[in-house]
Amino acid sequence: MMHDSIDIAIIALIQGDLPLDPHPFAQLSQQLGIEVDQILQRIEQMRTDGVLRRWGAVLRHQQAGYIANAMVAWKVDPDKADEAGGQMAGFQEISHCYLRSVPAVFPYNLFTMCHARSEEQLQELINRAAAQTGLNDFVIIKSLREFKKASMTYV
């Protein structure tokens, strides 16, 4: 489906930070000359069409107290990857879960980004994930410093 300049303006707004305002679409509505309800209808149509997968708030986990963060790379057999990935994705403390192709020298192919409020909670999460999935071959790659955290900008 082709998208007009109004859709593009809407996408440009919602892919970034919405204004901290009780009516975040009011200014865009005035700029575009359409009602806020029309903006919301277009957003819903783009979601229905599959153009937008989702949109929502992004938590800055470190500022929210999740100071113990690590990527955990797990070794999983390809035939068990979907099941293990689904189980990992079910943990609320795991924000990202990817199956990746990896070089033979690094056999860990399932990557999870884990967030906890303490090192003890992080280790407990990793232990629970290992127990639930049966994956016991993994490496913990701890976050030391964040250099960039930004959503992709498409328009």
36: pLDDT strictly greater than 70 = yes
- For residue 64, the model assigns a pLDDT of 67
Query: Is residue 55 in a domain?
Result: no
Are 88 and 136 found together in one domain?
Answer: yes
Nearest Cα neighbor of 60 from 149, 153, 147, 125 is 149
Are 27 and 79 found together in one domain?
Answer: no
- For residue 65, the model assigns a pLDDT of 67
Query: Is residue 43 in a domain?
Result: yes
Are 75 and 127 found together in one domain?
Answer: yes
CATH number at residue 135: 3.30.70.3460
117: pLDDT strictly greater than 90 = yes
Number of domains in the chain: 2
88 close to 110: Cβ distance less than 8 angstroms: yes
Average pLDDT over residues 119-136: 97
Query: Is residue 37 in a domain?
Result: yes
Rama region for 134: left / alpha / beta (φ>0; ψ in -120 to 50; rest): left
Tell me the C-alpha distance between 105 and 92, whole Å. 31
Q: What does the mean pLDDT of the chain come to?
A: 89
- Predicted model pTM: 0.67
CB atoms within 10 A of CB 42: 19
- For residue 67, the model assigns a pLDDT of 83
